[in-house]
């Protein structure tokens, strides 16, 4: 699918982003091994989370969806209740599905095979295979277990004391899931804190965790996990596209409703503020262990910044859209310490650089990041997504501010994390001028 876009005179309106992708996966997987029935509302019906549902069903879990698939009922089978799938599990495009399930399957006394699409089959799995083997599981895969498909024969695990080589919530969560079934405690240390949704959700289900800075320890529970009703907050990684567009479009004001504000995910807000953006966080509230708020943005000129270190895991999925913000900013922006971007749904350093260059952006590739010399006017371009949902949405936002027409190829991939994205684009781009007198644009 090719989408054609042009910059509207103004960008005004409200957005309700879809449910958070990380939380939607976890709400299904953890409730599947809990005891009892759980209702999940505002679930993300995107392709990634549908893949998780299909895998859990194949493992014997009953999951009912309502008509628009945003409400689920998960019938927990208990920790020991999963059964061997009759065929290969398919994680499609979803790294979270493959890595979290690998941790869970490593603990099951049966055989599993898990594969994915062409993008996922090129993503590194050695980072999970190595520690899961140390815990006692057998894990095979292409190239010595470093690439999918993975075959796993699990059971009889021991806890582990493990220094993680990368700050990765997917790796951490895989090991914590395996640790739930292990003999003895599991202790993990990350190079920098990654998102902590797994820790929060397991705690809410009654699992004992000790957390301090980059370290987490899990005590294998002697009681069943308690099923947990979850209302999934809006995904800040989806909201990010609008926060940037609402800042760099010259006549914009956007309110993004119900955004998850977990501090391990809010790096985008810190960066936009440091660049000079006007962000108002309103109606902050706690909803079942996770912070939620509405965020309002208005057009503002931006300045370049340097981004690196511990901030990177807090904005890892937002790097492409931050690069676009940097292209519109005065001065130079440096994104460093972000080599992980190379092993996402695409190599997000080289794909972001290649595609933003088509808009005339002065952007340079570094081994662990990018340098963007901003301030020039963006020219509309014909560009492509490389099958990467976040790149497709970044290019759409570029099209909303560039001069002339933009065509985004392979645009359907947004369905992975934001199924109603193109409808939101159309709605905001065609917003009528605000009534005279009430505008402060
Ligand atoms: C995720 C963790 C991040 C992120 C991904 C979702 C998760 O990956 O990029 O979109 O749900 O745990 P890593 O943990 O590999 O950094």
CA 189 to ligand 1 centroid distance, Å: 17
- Whether residues 180 and 282 share a domain: the answer is no
**pLDDT tens figures, 267-279:** 999 999 999 999 9
Question: What's the total number of domains in the chain?
Answer: 2
What band does 432 get if pLDDT is binned at 50, 70 and 90? low
In this prediction, residues 85-113 reach a mean pLDDT of 98
In this prediction, residues 108-122 reach a mean pLDDT of 97
Q: What is the pLDDT of residue 433?
A: 54
CA 433 to ligand 1 centroid distance, Å: 39
- Whether residues 245 and 383 share a domain: the answer is yes
Q: What is the pLDDT of residue 22?
A: 98
Identify the three-state secondary structure at position 301. Answer: coil
Nearest CA, atom 13, ligand 1? 168
In this prediction, residues 44-70 reach a mean pLDDT of 94
Phi-psi bin for 250: left (phi > 0), alpha (psi -120 to 50), beta? alpha
- Whether residues 9 and 113 share a domain: the answer is no
Examine the fold and report which residue of 200, 224, 248 is the final residue of a domain before the chain moves on. Answer: 224
Identify the three-state secondary structure at position 321. Answer: helix
- Whether residues 215 and 298 share a domain: the answer is no
- Pairing mode, strands 362-366 and 369-374: antiparallel
CA 403 to ligand 1 centroid distance, Å: 34
Q: What is the CA radius of gyration of the chain?
A: 21
Q: What is the pLDDT of residue 440?
A: 37
What band does 301 get if pLDDT is binned at 50, 70 and 90? very high
C-alpha closest to that of 204 among 26, 72, 371, 337: 26
Tell me the pLDDT of the chain averaged across its residues: 96
Q: What is the pLDDT of residue 67?
A: 77
- Whether residues 62 and 202 share a domain: the answer is yes
- Whether residues 141 and 61 share a domain: the answer is yes
**pLDDT tens figures, 189-227:** 999 999 999 999 999 999 999 999 999 999 999 999 999
Structure tokens that stand for 287 in this block:
């909803």
Contact 49, 238 (CB under 8 A): no
Look up tokens 């590739």; give the residue: 365
Q: Which residues pair with 73 in a beta bridge?
A: 39, 64
Q: What is the pLDDT of residue 341?
A: 98
CATH of the domain at 96: 3.65.10.10
> Is the confidence at residue 436, as pLDDT, over 60?
no
Q: Is 140 exposed, middle or buried (0-12, 13-18, 19+ CB in 10 A)?
A: middle
**pLDDT tens figures, 324-368:** 999 999 999 999 999 999 999 999 999 999 999 999 999 999 999
CA 194 to ligand 1 centroid distance, Å: 8
Report which ligand 1 atom has the smallest distance to the Cα of 26. 11
Nearest CA, atom 11, ligand 1? 22
Phi-psi bin for 277: left (phi > 0), alpha (psi -120 to 50), beta? beta
Beta strands in 299-386 (DSSP E): 306-307, 331-335, 362-366, 369-374, 382-384
- Whether residues 360 and 244 share a domain: the answer is yes
Q: What is the pLDDT of residue 20?
A: 98
Examine the fold and report which residue of 224, 256, 277 is the final residue of a domain before the chain moves on. Answer: 224
Q: What is the pLDDT of residue 441?
A: 40
Domain residues for the domain of 215 are: 21-224
> Is the confidence at residue 263, as pLDDT, over 80?
yes
- Please give the model's pTM, rounded to 2 decimal places: 0.96
CA 7 to ligand 1 centroid distance, Å: 32
Report which ligand 1 atom has the smallest distance to the Cα of 170. 14
- Whether residues 192 and 285 share a domain: the answer is no
Report which ligand 1 atom has the smallest distance to the Cα of 100. 12
Report which ligand 1 atom has the smallest distance to the Cα of 173. 12
- Whether residues 82 and 15 share a domain: the answer is no
What band does 69 get if pLDDT is binned at 50, 70 and 90? confident
Examine the fold and report which residue of 224, 251, 274 is the final residue of a domain before the chain moves on. Answer: 224
CA 21 to ligand 1 centroid distance, Å: 9
Best of 19, 94, 95 for a ligand 1 pocket test (most atoms within 8 Å of beta carbon): 95
Beta strands in 118-178 (DSSP E): 138-141, 147-153, 161-163
Nearest CA, atom 15, ligand 1? 168
Which residue has better confidence, 184 or 289? 184
- Whether residues 10 and 83 share a domain: the answer is no
- What residues line ligand 1, using a CB cutoff of 6 Å? 22, 95-96, 168-170, 173, 194-195, 316-317, 340
Best of 25, 168, 235, 262 for a ligand 1 pocket test (most atoms within 8 Å of beta carbon): 168
CA 52 to ligand 1 centroid distance, Å: 14
In this prediction, residues 149-156 reach a mean pLDDT of 94
Q: What is the pLDDT of residue 111?
A: 98
Nearest CA, atom 9, ligand 1? 317
What Å distances lie between residue 334 and 134, 193, 324, CA to CA? Answer: 38, 21, 12
> Is the confidence at residue 438, as pLDDT, over 60?
no
CA 313 to ligand 1 centroid distance, Å: 9
Q: What is the pLDDT of residue 269?
A: 98
- Whether residues 152 and 248 share a domain: the answer is no
Q: What is the pLDDT of residue 300?
A: 98
> Is the confidence at residue 252, as pLDDT, over 60?
yes
Q: What is the pLDDT of residue 435?
A: 44
**pLDDT tens figures, 381-426:** 999 999 999 999 999 999 999 999 999 999 999 999 999 999 999 9
Would you call 317 a catalytic residue per the annotation?
A: yes
Number of Cβ within 10 Å of residue 226's Cβ equals 16
CA distance 137 to 109: 10
Nearest CA, atom 16, ligand 1? 168
**Given 48, 196, 235, 317, the catalytic residue:** 317
**pLDDT tens figures, 90-102:** 999 999 999 999 9
C-alpha closest to that of 30 among 172, 137, 176, 164: 176
- Whether residues 419 and 344 share a domain: the answer is yes
Best of 18, 19, 22, 232 for a ligand 1 pocket test (most atoms within 8 Å of beta carbon): 22
Best of 91, 198, 316 for a ligand 1 pocket test (most atoms within 8 Å of beta carbon): 316
Contact 327, 361 (CB under 8 A): yes
Nearest CA, atom 4, ligand 1? 317
């Amino acid at each position: 699918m090719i989408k054609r876009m042009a910059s509207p005179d103004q960008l005004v309106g409200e957005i309700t982003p879809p449910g958070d992708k990380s939380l939607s996966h976890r709400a299904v997987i953890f409730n599947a091994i809990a005891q009892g029935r759980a209702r999940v509302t505002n679930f993300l019906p995107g392709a990634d989370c549908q893949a998780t549902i299909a895998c859990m069903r194949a493992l014997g879990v009953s999951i009912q969806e309502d008509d628009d698939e945003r409400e689920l009922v998960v019938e927990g089978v208990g920790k020991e209740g999963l059964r061997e799938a009759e065929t290969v599990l398919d994680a499609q495009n979803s790294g979270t599905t493959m890595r979290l399930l690998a941790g869970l399957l490593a603990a099951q006394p049966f055989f599993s095979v898990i594969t994915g699409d062409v993008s996922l089959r090129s993503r590194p799995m050695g980072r999970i295979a190595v520690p899961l083997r140390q815990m006692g599981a057998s894990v095979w895969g292409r190239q010595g277990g470093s690439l999918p498909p993975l075959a796993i024969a699990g059971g009889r695990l021991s806890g582990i004391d493990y220094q993680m080589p990368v700050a990765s919530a997917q790796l951490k969560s895989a090991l914590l899931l395996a640790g739930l079934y292990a003999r003895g405690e599991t202790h993990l240390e990350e190079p920098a804190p990654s998102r902590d949704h797994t820790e929060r959700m397991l705690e809410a289900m009654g699992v004992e965790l000790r957390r301090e800075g980059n370290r987490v320890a899990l005590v294998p529970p002697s009681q069943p996990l308690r099923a947990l009703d979850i209302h999934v907050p809006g995904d800040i990684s989806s909201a990010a596209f609008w926060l940037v567009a609402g800042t760099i479009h010259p006549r914009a004001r956007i309110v993004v409703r119900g955004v998850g504000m977990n501090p391990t995910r809010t790096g985008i807000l810190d960066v936009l503020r440091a660049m000079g953006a006007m962000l108002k966080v309103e109606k902050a509230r706690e909803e079942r262990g996770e912070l939620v708020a509405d965020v309002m943005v208005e057009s503002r000129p931006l300045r370049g910044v340097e981004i690196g270190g511990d901030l990177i895991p807090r904005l890892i999925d937002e790097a492409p859209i931050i690069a676009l913000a940097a292209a519109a900013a005065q001065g130079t922006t440096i994104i460093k310490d972000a080599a992980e971007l190379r092993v996402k749904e695409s190599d997000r350093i080289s794909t972001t650089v290649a595609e933003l260059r088509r808009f005339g952006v002065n952007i340079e590739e570094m081994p662990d990041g990018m340098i963007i010399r901003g301030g020039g006017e963006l020219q509309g371009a014909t560009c492509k997504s490389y099958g990467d949902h976040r790149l497709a949405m970044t290019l759409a936002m570029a099209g909303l501010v560039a001069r002339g027409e933009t065509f985004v190829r392979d645009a359907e991939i947004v369905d992975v994390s934001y199924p109603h994205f193109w409808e939101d684009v159309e709605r905001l781009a065609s917003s009528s001028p605000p009534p005279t007198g009430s505008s402060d644009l």
